[in-house]
Structure 1
């Protein structure tokens, strides 16, 4: 994917997951080309990727629409994530490298600084760093099949934009969860890493559905 396609993808993903582009919205190539000042090629590439992630639906003869998800859909995704990512966290505690531990803790640092300083758009940036953290733990698990099964679930609608709905206290608790999971992985404590990751994801779903 080229640089322009990546930029368009990143911006559209952020707008969809934060609700700036609501579920059910019709996305047209012509309007997007005008908005981003690019040709149809990077727009089409970005839309295909968003479709792969489940954020948009490409309907023959109708066009592209932002996916509409129900609370039942979100509950199903979070239940699967809690099961599989907790297993991944346990494997990560066993298989992680020193460089992965370092990066994991750096991601925690960056999110904490953002939440403390609260610059413009910080919640969207925290959401991106959160996704990086969960992907890193999947990579550290050293299980390619598990990675391929789970990697896109964190980008599911309602889940990937959940930080937009957190209270400040819920946001801090989520970052504390990250620290605890990172500590368990760093110390090679498989059982604690599994339990903490499952609890973290179930807390995230509870925060989302409490709004």
Structure 2
């Protein structure tokens, strides 16, 4: 894939998974071509890939829209995420490298700093870093099959913009959860890492469903 097309794909994926493009948003080829200064052929390829990932849906005679999720969809995916990512956190407690620990702590530091400063768009920025942290924990589990199964669920659009819905206390709690999970992984405490990750995801989902 050429660099420009890859850049457009990653930018649109980030906008969808962080809620900057909310569920139901209409994406037009003409608008995207103008926004990214790129021709229609690569835009169509990007939209096909986003559709394959479940991030957009193609509606005949209507166009392309950011995917929407029912409550049943959301509950099912979050239940599976809690199972897979808690397992990954337990594996990461044994398999993580020093460089991965360093990056996990850097991500926690960065999110804390952004939350403290509260510059414009800070919640969307935290959401992107949150995705990075969850994906890095999956990577740290050193299980390629688990990573390939779980990575798309970690980016599922049901969590789009979740940090936009959090109260200040809920946001603070979520960032504290990250710290405790990373600490358990650092200490090679498999059971605590599993329990903390499962609790983190289930609590985050409960907070989201109360406010959506």
Q: TM-score, normalised by structure 2?
A: 0.91
Structure 1: state its 5+ residue gaps.
none
Structure 2: state its 5+ residue gaps.
none
Count of matched residue positions in the alignment of Structure 1 and Structure 2: 211
Structure 2 counterpart of 1:128? 128
Shift of the 164–49 alpha-carbon distance from structure 1 to 2, 3 Å rule, reads farther
Q: How does 1:62-141 map to 2 (within 5 A)?
A: 62-141=62-141
Q: How does 1:1-211 map to 2 (within 5 A)?
A: 1-59=1-59, 62-211=62-211
Runs (4+) of structure 1 exceeding 6 A deviation are none
Shift of the 125–47 alpha-carbon distance from structure 1 to 2, 3 Å rule, reads same
Q: How many Å apart are 1:100 and its aligned residue?
A: 0.7
CA distance in 2, matches of 1:182, 1:161: 23
Shift of the 149–124 alpha-carbon distance from structure 1 to 2, 3 Å rule, reads same
- Give a deviation string over 1:14-58, Cα, whole Å, max 9, x none: 443454544333322122112322212442233233223311013
CA distance in 2, matches of 1:161, 1:48: 23
Q: How many Å apart are 1:60 and its aligned residue?
A: 5.5
The alignment yields a C-alpha RMSD, in angstroms, of 1.8
* Higher mean C-alpha deviation, range 98-107 or range 4-13: 4-13
Q: Is the 8 A contact 1:2 1:42 kept in 2?
A: no
Shift of the 53–179 alpha-carbon distance from structure 1 to 2, 3 Å rule, reads same
- Matched residue SS, 2:180: helix
CA distance in 2, matches of 1:109, 1:21: 26
Shift of the 3–113 alpha-carbon distance from structure 1 to 2, 3 Å rule, reads farther
